[in-house]
Amino acid sequence: MCWNILGVPHGHDWNTPRPGEKCGYESCTKAKEGFLNVHIVPHTHDDVGWLKTVDQYYYGSRNDIQKAGVQYILDSVIKELWENSNRRFIYVETAFFWKWWTQQSDAVQRKVHALVRQGRLEFVGGAWSMNDEAAAHYQSIIDQFTWGLKKLNDTFGSCALPRVGWQIDPFGHSRELASLLAAMGYDGLFLGRLDYQDKRARLAEKRMEMLWRGDDDLGKTSDIFTGALYNTYSPPPGFCFDVLCNDEPIVDDVNSPMYNVDKRVSEFLSYVETQSQRYRTNNVILTMGGDFTYQDASMWYINLDKLIEYTNLKAAKENLNVTLFYSTPNCYLKAVKDADPVLPTKQDDFFPYASDPNAYWTGYFSSRPTTKYFEREGNNYLQMVKQLQVLADLPDHNLPVLDELRSAMGVMQHHDAVTGTEKEHVTHDYERLLDQAIEDALIIARQAFNKVAQGDALKPTVLSYDRCRLNETSCSASENSNQFVVTVYNPLAFAVDETIGVPVRDGEYSVYDSEGTVLKSQLLDITSAVLNIPTRRSKATHELFFIAKLEALSINSYYIKKTSKKAKRQTGNNKKMDDINEYNANINNYWRNVKDKIEIDMRSLEKQDVDNTNKKMVPDIPATMNREDKFVNRGNIDINVLKDKGERANQDVEEFEKLLEEENRRIETTRRIRAGFDKSYPNLNGEEMRMLSDDPMIVEQYEDNEVSIQKNGIHIAADNNGERITIQNRDLSFDLSFFYYPGCYGDNREFINRSSGAYIFRPNATEAIELETINRSKVDGDIVSEIRTTRTHNVNSVIRIYETSTYIDHYFVIGPIPIEDGIGKEYVSRYTSNLRNTGGFYTDSNGRQIIKRKINNRPQWNLTIEEPIAGNYYPVTNFIAIQSEDNILSVVTDRSRGGTSLKDGEIELMLHRRLLHDDAFGVGEALNETANGIGLVVRGYQRIYPVQPEGKLMNVKALKNHLHPIVFVSNADNLDINDWYKLRNKYTWAQRSVDGVHLLTLEPWNENLLLRLENINAFKKSVKVDLNSILKNIKIKRIKETTLAGNQWLNDNHKWEWRKEGKFVKSFNDAYGNAGYDVKADDDDDDDTDEKGLIVIKPRQIRTFIVEYDYVN
Ligand SMILES: [Zn+2]
């Protein structure tokens, strides 16, 4: 076992600095006392996909979209750094760096090693991508930092250790990320974007740099220096020396008529002087670069060399006490630290972000909902295969597929990926990458399952363990076989009971567990809304439910047999089904076909039931404006100086025009197809299902629309006014309703004319428009009961309650969002309760913390709000809640969304957006997603917890949803049940589950393990864990603790102390809005030290270990 795995040299030692070489803080040019120190920081911001795909950016293809090629940037920068030892550069996105690195010759690699050893090339951030902070889950953030930093560490050793977080472009900043970065050992964090009102106030009061407490429970260990950059991440105006810019070079030939040194130096000095007045120390940082800059690095360096030289000359001559030098964010931070300023404090977060009075970047919290869902599913698969590779002791040759999935998930966290702010073709590429990576990585799961079943991972498999598309209730293996095996993996280190739903055809089924017991099951017809999802390719008409009792880290298999074939019905069914078969693609291709432009799907017809009464309420395009005017007037003024725009405006107008035309043509075509083919291409809707069914339990339809169901103390009654959910024995009830906001449309030339788009949410109404109920039905069963409602505008919902659970699941199918009226729409669901929350509500921070929000309020400045709806939206990564004295109503989401509580008692969540205009922040496309040629249909769910003693329990509930059991199905037509019994069908790797502990990470780590344990104790108590008592087959020989990202020994990390203004409050949530509760935090270290053999994890703490281990039987 090699304990130098952090930065172990490969063969020749390229990483240890030679005599005279210095890296890290030691390599910094020392700031001069009594001088204004100007830190010139050359940098490039390389989006891991945005307007172009990751590979298009890397190779520089499609330069007609954007002139950007990352390989040229790195090539060019390395040459320029080599030329002149004063020059420095920082690099951020390890996804790109790694791709480039692996393609370099030995000679170039050696040069890069030297540059890193000498501190001339420094890594900041260093994660696989610069992750978004609203839609990214903390588990995925930690993973993608770990992955990027591991590559740097393994390659370059400690000289490549990034010291600062570099989140200069994400659109708002989360408190949890601050906490995570502190736990990863970063000394500081730099931000580019903060609300324009916040920034204004901070500039005025010199509060641009602060001490941010990341987590109240973790206290001072979560504190991190945070600096907001003066000019986002751009150079001073006029000083961009790039092929992408048009600024004047420094001309220093006195004989040239263009000579401009004096003028340029004066301009520059005046700028830095202004900037320095807004900061507390005698240091300023200048970010010399931007999006994909430095493709021809010599342009920058030639001019920066001169700027530095001539400014210093002038300063020396005129005793200006200013000094310029090449620097890095690390070195700037060190200089600030040495100046020892007193810092203001912060305990809330930087959401939402507004760049002007009408541009609230709260739309992206919900943009591209299917991508957001897929990203979450990707995490589930990643955690599973990481665990199984270790638990099942699988061969190392699996590791490349594991790495592929780690990389794909790292890319997905990028601030133009999971956010949905990329171009549509880039979305498709992200999905392609992730889909391929999941499919490749599943070899690990299959080997593990096979090893459990047969005792040998590599023995020919008996079962296929197919991935199913359960979000659309489709699964090839279960719907095409008369007997099949369902295998369920529980990735949590505690036991869960889960109601499993398997897509099947009509019939009768028996479910057997591994002991041969027949489990209670219930067959339920699939709603027509789900059957009609255009991307769905499935023969399943029903869903078979049973309850799986799953131990911690276990697999459980169930044998399911179709026990009777209802001959008469079946014949009819099969006929219809065979027709549908024609375009039944390989289900296991999963997402691959999702976005194909296939126009034959009869079930995917754009519905024509746009409610005309509602239409009147929607503001129309002014009558005086004909369609052509509309396009002509459509400008695309991008006030964001950083986003490349150029000729995009015209292109965008054309694209949009094309899109609308295509849309109309498609609707017309599908309408014609339907007219001609109706007879031979039956559309199996819900009603036909019911007619075919002879099981009276299945569905009852009520003419008067008044239905009710009840289970577990939850009563749901629905009438023409909607669904009302009442919790018995508690004074709590709430109604469910759906609304839409018509999207604002303007030319984007002025703030007030901003369109709603991929980034921006801007409703063109002060009240949302409610959708009306068309029909309703109910199902009452042993395991689940539900009420199904169809509403206008293609909105369908199911409210489901369970025999064994006390939550309520709210499923919905939304879309295509009708746009025939030329108006984009944003759909929300609203829960309106009798709970009095007096303007306060709670949203999570990256799925981990809970942050209090107050309507029309910000904790640190006086808010002026011109967008009262959009400006009150917050990111909901995982949950949102309202609370009164005796009740809490909380909603756990299946993916990231935007949410709010605009009125007392309400929770509102945005579910789907379809917009027809760009919001002019660079993406250059309207957020108008289509699949199979029509507007995208989204299925999703929310889990409502109406009764709970305290909100702190939310994390565990959210975790159960986040890391839900993963279901695989295998055809067993050739496997008799008696042969199946001979396999091992139930196995747990857990010795016992430890109460209050979440196994956050278990993954192979070179020849060892990386293990993370998180304290999720509901009562904020420390927990003690005997690591050897967690896993059955793993004996721990030795452990060593690291910082959160696993790239530095914990003992080697020393936290900086800062002077601060006043004290932190003990709890931000208690203090916010409650003048009497501002109890100050006690910042003394408590001494919960590890005991012999026991690890002590403090409340909410995550501890990370590298573990040397052996397998035992
Ligand atoms: Zn970016």
Q: How does pLDDT run across 1002-1037, given as a tens digit for each residue?
A: 999 999 999 999 999 888 889 999 999 999 999 999
**What secondary structure does DSSP assign to 268-316, as a single string?**
HHHHHHHHHTTSSSSEEEEEE--BT--TTHHHHHHHHHHHHHHHHHHHH
Distance from the alpha carbon of residue 167 to the mean position of ligand 1, in angstroms: 9
Distance from the alpha carbon of residue 642 to the mean position of ligand 1, in angstroms: 9
Enter the tokens of residue 1010: 């990386």
Which residues does residue 829 pair with via DSSP β-bridges, in sequence order? Answer: 738, 909
Distance from the alpha carbon of residue 419 to the mean position of ligand 1, in angstroms: 11
Q: What is the pLDDT of residue 1017?
A: 87
Distance from the alpha carbon of residue 130 to the mean position of ligand 1, in angstroms: 8
Enter the tokens of residue 966: 């993963």
Residue ranges of alpha helices (H) inside 118-260 are 138-156, 175-183, 196-204
Enter the tokens of residue 915: 């917009």
Distance from the alpha carbon of residue 960 to the mean position of ligand 1, in angstroms: 32
Q: Give the CA dihedral 789, 795, 796, 798, nearest 10 degrees.
A: -80
Distance from the alpha carbon of residue 712 to the mean position of ligand 1, in angstroms: 48
Q: What is the pLDDT of residue 662?
A: 55
SS3 954: helix
Whether the CB-CB separation of 54 and 69 falls below 8 Å is answered with: no
H-helix or E-strand spanning residue 893:
strand 888-893
Whether the CB-CB separation of 786 and 709 falls below 8 Å is answered with: yes
Please, what's the largest Cα pairwise distance for the chain?
100
Distance from the alpha carbon of residue 186 to the mean position of ligand 1, in angstroms: 21
Grouped pLDDT means (10 residues each) for the chain, 1113 residues: 45 82 95 96 98 97 95 98 97 98 97 97 98 98 98 95 98 98 98 98 98 96 98 97 96 97 97 97 98 98 98 97 98 98 98 97 98 97 98 96 98 98 97 97 97 90 93 93 97 94 95 96 94 91 96 97 60 35 32 35 33 31 31 29 37 51 49 36 33 39 72 89 86 94 94 95 94 92 94 96 91 96 97 93 95 96 97 96 90 97 97 96 94 92 79 73 95 96 96 89 96 91 91 93 96 96 94 86 73 88 96 87
Distance from the alpha carbon of residue 45 to the mean position of ligand 1, in angstroms: 6
Distance (Å, whole) CA 150 – CA 402: 14
Distance from the alpha carbon of residue 290 to the mean position of ligand 1, in angstroms: 9
Which residues does residue 711 pair with via DSSP β-bridges, in sequence order? Answer: 714
Whether the CB-CB separation of 492 and 960 falls below 8 Å is answered with: yes
Which DSSP state fits 866? Answer: S
Distance from the alpha carbon of residue 49 to the mean position of ligand 1, in angstroms: 9
Distance (Å, whole) CA 1045 – CA 1043: 6
C-alpha distances in Å from residue 897, one per residue of 137, 769, 846, 852, 995: 12, 20, 11, 17, 30
Distance from the alpha carbon of residue 1066 to the mean position of ligand 1, in angstroms: 35
Distance from the alpha carbon of residue 414 to the mean position of ligand 1, in angstroms: 8
C-alpha distances in Å from residue 167, one per residue of 431, 777, 1058: 24, 49, 21
Distance from the alpha carbon of residue 225 to the mean position of ligand 1, in angstroms: 22
Residue 169 annotated in active site: yes
Distance (Å, whole) CA 435 – CA 432: 5
Q: What is the pLDDT of residue 628?
A: 30
Q: What is the pLDDT of residue 627?
A: 30
Ion ligand 1: residues, CB < 5 A: 47, 169
H-helix or E-strand spanning residue 210:
strand 209-213
Catalytically annotated residue among 169, 215, 305, 601: 169
Q: Compute CA 963 distance to the chain's CA centroid, rounded to the nearest angstrom.
A: 15
Provide the residue count of the chain. Answer: 1113
Q: Phi and psi for 499 in degrees, rounded to 5?
A: -85, 115
Category of 407 on φ-ψ map: left (φ > 0), alpha (ψ -120 to 50) or beta:
alpha
Distance from the alpha carbon of residue 133 to the mean position of ligand 1, in angstroms: 12
Distance from the alpha carbon of residue 926 to the mean position of ligand 1, in angstroms: 19
Amino acid residing at 416: D
pTM (2 decimals)?
0.88
Distant-in-sequence, close-in-space partners of 32: CB < 8 Å, separation ≥ 6: 323
Q: What is the pLDDT of residue 654?
A: 54
Whether the CB-CB separation of 423 and 757 falls below 8 Å is answered with: no
H-helix or E-strand spanning residue 325:
strand 322-326
Distance from the alpha carbon of residue 665 to the mean position of ligand 1, in angstroms: 36
Distance from the alpha carbon of residue 47 to the mean position of ligand 1, in angstroms: 5
Distance from the alpha carbon of residue 171 to the mean position of ligand 1, in angstroms: 9
Residue 416: which of 460, 368, 377 has the closest Cα?
A: 368
Enter the tokens of residue 1054: 């020393």
Enter the tokens of residue 826: 């944003």
Distance from the alpha carbon of residue 65 to the mean position of ligand 1, in angstroms: 16
